Amino acid sequence: MAMPRPTVTQLAYGSCTVVFSTLALLLLSRTSSGVGIALVVVAALALGLTVAMTAPRATSRPTPVLRSLPQEPVRATLPSPATVPAREAVRERAVS
């Protein structure tokens, strides 16, 4: 079973968390020793990894199901001759 690759969202959230948490921890702790800086960096990496793993994964969109409609014959709707009023015959005057 192959391990799934991280999404762009997970990489962005994790990277931003590492950078900002490192800066915040270094400023708040005011450490200048190598061991203190190493602990801050490890803590920031662990926090970034945690944020990246809990970031929402992109879900695949459901594919639309194409359903074919039942084939029905095309029917033209014409009025029936019984419902159309009869036209009067045209009466022309005879030329005398």
- Decide: 22 and 40 in contact? Cβ < 8 Å: yes
Task: Please write the tens of the pLDDT for every residue from 40-89.
Answer: 999 999 989 888 888 777 666 666 766 776 677 767 776 666 665 666 66
The span from the CA of 87 to the CA of 34, in Å, is 107
Any domain includes 65 = no
Any domain includes 21 = yes
**Domains: count for the chain:** 1
- Indicate the pTM of the whole model: 0.54
Any domain includes 45 = yes
Query: 26: domain range?
Result: 8-54
At residue 1, the pLDDT reads: 67
Any domain includes 80 = no
Any domain includes 96 = no
At residue 41, the pLDDT reads: 92
Q: Which two tokens stand for residue 86?
A: 């009869």
Any domain includes 81 = no
Task: Please write the tens of the pLDDT for every residue from 19-45.
Answer: 999 999 889 988 888 899 999 999 999
